Structure 1
Amino acid sequence: MQGTIESTVFAVNKEKNIVLHYHEGAWIEIAHASTGEIYGGNWGLASTNPTTGDLWVYGGKPDEWADYYSGRSADIAVTGDAVYRVSADGNGLFSTEGYISVAASTELTWDQISDQPTGPIYGGSWGLVSIRRGTGDAFYYHADDNSWERIGDPGNSFAVTADTVYRVPLDNSGLFRYDGHDASWTQISDQPTDQIYGGDWGLVSTRPDSGDAFRFHPDGSWERIGGPGDSFAVTADTVYRLNKNPDGGGVFRYDNNGTSWTQVGPPMHSIVAASWGDVRSVQIPEI
């Protein structure tokens, strides 16, 4: 893990008992345990235990995982510099930038950053966006002074990229980009929009009728890049598509050319994008 930072894709196998890391053209098994969901960002990779809900963080080597929180969380998000969790009852939001090290007795500190009723949270390199339960309003977290700013109205889906956040309205009638101030948003598409996926490479959206995937370019144009997928994961340099169909399904990497994709793996349960390398140092105590 010295000297490089790799933005790549991680996956949970169909049986949900192995976590895998896609590295230099091969899949590396990094956990052999029953797994719920995985969450990724430039800070790293987190996963949950499906029975207890415990939150674990990947230490960078196969089977190196640290127990970051014991118990269930209503939602989890990873940004470029921290991991966030919503309390199980949805009435609190917590963050940590710490890393478990030194001794097994080391306790990780979670800081409460909100006591408001919280719905889904969305993370990316730009930061954290939280949806207020009840109103559906979107709030941006200013980590530098621990303050919150209301930035917009409710939406069906949000996605955070390297420089802003995007919102699909409640009626799925288009797509909006946050302007970076107040509660101002600019409509960037009037086409029906289903799901959106963000990362440092940019924004990918899907159409509800065809399921086709489209990439949004900085000049404001849209490009159809492929057909339907069960989910997508956006890294720093491309996007990956998951097709769960056992007949012809798998994990595919976009070739950054037209609608060309290359299959890089078999069908999986889920995929996420996350960074791996010198992003931090999680030292797992010997037991």
Structure 2
Amino acid sequence: MAALLTRWQQGGGASAIPAQQTAVVTTRTKTGKWSSSADKWDVIGEPARAMHGGQLGLFTVNLQTGRLWQYTGEPNVWAAIGDSGAAVATDSRALYRLAADGKPVWRWSPAGDWSRIGGPAAAIATNG
């Protein structure tokens, strides 16, 4: 991560993160978290195909399997929560997934339950 941090600082990335904020990046070999309050990078997991984050937490799509994972807050400890499908979006209350066939739209709540909320759809997005 040191090389990555150097590139970010040169580009204005990590040094521009306000105090007490966190940035997460994924590379070909790992996922890392920058904490400006600790002034360092920590490896927190495997590489990801995609990442989704916000108030609800951090979620990744596994590079090989396409499964969705939720970061538990402990380095290298993730909870599997389902398949990523065709698209994923998150807001402050839930994670949303468009099924791979584009038909149902699913909502995941922090309680760990998936519920069908609609479909079919071509894309999904959240606002807030």
Task: Assess, with a 3 A threshold, how the Cα gap between structure 1 residues 172 and 55 changes in structure 2: closer, same or farther.
Answer: farther
Within the candidate set 4, 12, 33, 1:66 is matched to 12
Within the candidate set 109, 115, 121, 1:186 is matched to 115
Q: CA deviation at 1:199?
A: 4.0
Is residue 198 of structure 1 aligned with residue 126 of structure 2? yes
Aligned amino acid, residue 96 of structure 1: W
- Relative to the length of structure 2, the TM-score reads 0.76
Is residue 112 of structure 1 aligned with residue 43 of structure 2? yes
Q: Which has the higher helix share?
A: 2
Asked which structure has the greater CA Rg, the reply is: 1
Q: Counterpart of 1:233?
A: none
> After TM superposition, what 4+ stretches of structure 1 lie above 3 angstroms from structure 2?
none
Q: CA deviation at 1:166?
A: 0.7
Aligned amino acid, residue 12 of structure 2: A
Q: Which has the higher strand share?
A: 1
Is residue 129 of structure 1 aligned with residue 59 of structure 2? yes
Contact conserved, 2:71 with 2:78, CA < 8 A, in 1? yes
Contact conserved, 2:93 with 2:109, CA < 8 A, in 1? no
Task: Assess, with a 3 A threshold, how the Cα gap between structure 1 residues 97 and 139 changes in structure 2: closer, same or farther.
Answer: same
Q: Counterpart of 1:95?
A: 33
Structure 1: distance between partners of 2:12 and 2:63? 30
Structure 2: distance between partners of 1:110 and 1:199? 30
Q: Counterpart of 1:166?
A: 96
Contact conserved, 1:123 with 1:129, CA < 8 A, in 2? yes
Is residue 151 of structure 1 aligned with residue 81 of structure 2? yes
**Bigger RCO of structures 1 and 2 (CA < 8 A, at least 6 apart):** 1
Contact conserved, 1:95 with 1:112, CA < 8 A, in 2? yes
Structure 2: distance between partners of 1:163 and 1:55? 31
Q: CA deviation at 1:67?
A: 4.0
Structure 2: distance between partners of 1:155 and 1:109? 34
- Relative to the length of structure 1, the TM-score reads 0.36
Q: CA deviation at 1:161?
A: 0.6
Q: CA deviation at 1:117?
A: 3.8
Q: Counterpart of 2:4?
A: none
